Chain A
Amino acid sequence: EAGVTQFPSHSVIEKGQTVTLRCDPISGHDNLYWYRRVMGKEIKFLLHFVKESKQDESGMPNNRFLAERTGGTYSTLKVQPAELEDSGVYFCASRGLASSDEQFFGPGTRLTVL
């Protein structure tokens, strides 16, 4: 069974540009999460989808970040316009329906904003 996949693996952009990150969860997983690790800090929660609905977006830093999950399958996270402090590793995770199910993480997208 394929795991969580993320694209791209790396992205280098200039301040002010737009970047869109994609996450494909494990097939059948209704729960999808985005997390971010900024250098030197802990991994932090950004938001949580159940199917196509945003359940919790309390971790989103500001309105430059927009996450979508149309159709309840893959998700995108767009940063527009990117700022220097957005640099970090963005992880996506998915989980099955039961609250006791494990969250499986994707390999992450390493974003560098210059």
Chain B
Amino acid sequence: RKEVEQDPGPFNVPEGATVAFNCTYSNSASQSFFWYRQDCRKEPKLLMSVYSSGNEDGRFTAQLNRASQYISLLIRDSKLSDSATYLCVVSPYNQGGKLIFGQGTELSVKP
């Protein structure tokens, strides 16, 4: 079983749509949680950290449920430029900050 599981998609949505991605992780000792964005043939870039209280950055909202070991990302009012692969990432406690990646969810926003 993978440590971080995501639906690979692809998610094909029209501009302006709201789309939600989910992710589960298996290691209950995971300490930090992130969503990264990766454009085709580029490096991953941090989109946002995820906190138990939930956090929002513009059109993006991330949520963490530690009891269910579940992380979500909501994108409102999708733009063409949101098309990318979204990586769910966890960092285990006391392991030097190493990152454990999910396989990624591909999003394609169409006009």
Interface residues of A (CB under 8 A from B): 31, 33, 35, 41-45, 48, 50, 55-56, 59, 91, 93, 95, 99, 102-103, 105-108
Contact = CB atoms under 8 A, between A and B. Distances in A.
Interface SS, B side: loop
A31 B102 CA distance: 22
18 contacts: A31-B97, A33-B97, A33-B98, A35-B99, A42-B101, A43-B44, A43-B101, A44-B101, A48-B96, A48-B97, A56-B95, A56-B96, A56-B98, A59-B98, A95-B97, A99-B97, A103-B97, A107-B42
B96 A106 contact: no
Closest 8 CB pairs of A and B: A105-B43, A43-B101, A42-B103, A42-B101, A45-B98, A48-B96, A55-B96, A107-B43
Contacts of A42: 2, 4, 101-104
Nearest to A37: B101
Nearest to A95: B97
B43 A106 contact: yes
A45 B97 contact: no
Interface SS, A side: strand
Nearest to B4: A42
B45 to A, nearest CB: 7
A21 B2 CA distance: 28
A88 to B, nearest CB: 13
Nearest to B104: A42
Contact of A108 (B4, B43, B95): B43
Interface string B1-32: 01010000000000000000000000000000
Contacts of A95: 97
A6 B100 CA distance: 21
